[in-house]
Amino acid sequence: MTRTGESTLVVRALNKHYGAFHAVRGVNFDIREGELYTLLGPSGCGKSTTLRCVAGLEHIDGGDIAIAGTVVDSSAPPVFMPPNKRDIGMVFQNYGIWPHMSVFDNVAFPITVWRSKVSRREVVRRTEEALAAVKLDHLSGRRGTELSGGQQQRVALARALVARPKLLLLDEPLSNLDATLRESMRMELRRLQKNVGITTLFVTHDQTEALSMSDRVAVMREGVIIQEDAPQEIYSKPSDLYVAGFLGRVNCFAAKVNTVHRDYVSVQVGSGTLHARSQRAMHEGARVVLAVRPEKMSLRQGESSAVNSLPGVVAEVSFIGEAVDYRLLVDGTSVIVRENARVIFPVGTSVRIEFDVDDGLLYEDEVAAAKVSQVSAVDPADGKLETPRTTDTPTTTPMRNQQFSLRKTATIGQST
């Protein structure tokens, strides 16, 4: 593989089997210098396997991996560089802090093995610097057993950074923390990553974590990267309903294409006409799915002059502080709308649901919707794909075995 200049990590056509099971199927991605790149996907989709291949903890079956311009793995000609030679730092879900050692010794460990290369004074200097970066300098004498979850996480990070690696690998590093700590560590980790400027591969099943921390997010499914983009792009322009539902909730309306215009498509939903954008060419008469996120819809009473306006009745109101989640009935089926809490419409109120043409996304057919229903609405206990794990209680209407008709709608995905 040639040197790639700006990319610190290059993964090409990566394949990994466990026996007959094909866990990673031809995965390609590059991580640019200083970037935080996230692999996001449901349990078992191959995120950790990909990261472990990059780390050299797994032997690959096909493809190439290069770190900072050096090929560390290749199937042809065969190359395998062991993990300790790869210039990487790692933090896993289980932080692996040595309980009998002090915070200082835990963090210093990776560079004490370099004793022949660096002086004791240099080890101390670098360890203190790493501890200061994670704001643990005041606890350097504490034992591993005397630390909170958040402090352990920081020790693990400092230990991963102390050798100043080219690439940091983080596998669900926040998932052991409680919800409040997780939120603050999210921001702290992001700040630290930017301050240190370290190129980072981050793995998570949590869409909020992925969207809030990453420069770019890659959504994985069954060993394949489906879409890769900046958080705002991937959230607002998901390439299919699976990605849309994985990144947040989305209302789906079964629709039929009426007319295709240059910059919008007019579709029939029930007895109404709605306008939306399509990323792909649509043909008239095609059965499609119109998807709109709950927070992109708004409610009003009385007449509506909006292009996209549907009549609905408030069926449930859930006040969550900074916002209100409504479940509305449109033609007898549920639509979720998230509104600001300035005015609250009580149950039974007749309203108009409005949304902008730019916020209506069109996807090709009902088959795509059926696939999403299997992913987003199936219980882990069913032995199929698990839903993204979030701390919030989903307030969606599951699409289990739901067949689309022109009169049916459904909400998929997770509450954020």
Ligand X SMILES: Nc1ncnc2c1ncn2[C@@H]1O[C@H](COP(=O)(O)OP(=O)(O)OP(=O)(O)O)[C@@H](O)[C@H]1O
The site for Mg ion (CB under 5 A) is made up of: 48
Using CB under 6 A, pick the residue from 14, 46, 158, 229 that binds ligand X: 46
CB of 43 to Mg ion, least distance (A): 7
- What residue 208 binds from ligand X, Mg ion, none (CB within 5 to 8 A, per partner kind)? none
CB of 88 to Mg ion, least distance (A): 17
Length of the chain: 416
Mark 195-224 with x for binding to ligand X (rule: CB under 6 A) and - for no binding. ----------x-------------------
Binding of residue 55 to ligand X (CB under 6 A): no
Binding of residue 80 to ligand X (CB under 6 A): no
Binding of residue 159 to ligand X (CB under 6 A): no
Structure tokens belonging to residue 115:
């004793």
Q: Can you list the alpha helix ranges (DSSP code H) found in 8-71?
A: 47-55
Binding of residue 49 to ligand X (CB under 6 A): yes
Cα separation, 194 vs 264, whole angstroms: 39
Binding of residue 151 to ligand X (CB under 6 A): no
Cα separation, 189 vs 196, whole angstroms: 10
Cα separation, 282 vs 363, whole angstroms: 9
Q: Which residues contact 175 (CB under 8 A, 6 or more apart)?
A: 93, 182, 204, 206
Within 10 A of 197 (CB to CB), how many other CB atoms are there? 8
Mark 262-291 with x for binding to ligand X (rule: CB under 6 A) and - for no binding. ------------------------------
CB of 209 to ligand X, least distance (A): 12
Binding of residue 335 to ligand X (CB under 6 A): no
Q: Which residues contact 180 (CB under 8 A, 6 or more apart)?
A: none
Binding of residue 18 to ligand X (CB under 6 A): yes
3-state secondary structure of 387: coil
Cα separation, 222 vs 215, whole angstroms: 23
**Range in contact with ligand X (rule: CB under 6 A) among 47-55, 71-79, 138-146, 238-246:** 47-55
Within 13 Å of residue 16, how many CA atoms lie on the same side as its CB?
A: 29
Using CB under 6 A, pick the residue from 10, 14, 23, 243 that binds ligand X: 23
Give contact residues for ligand X (rule: CB under 6 A). Answer: 18, 21, 23, 41, 43-49, 205
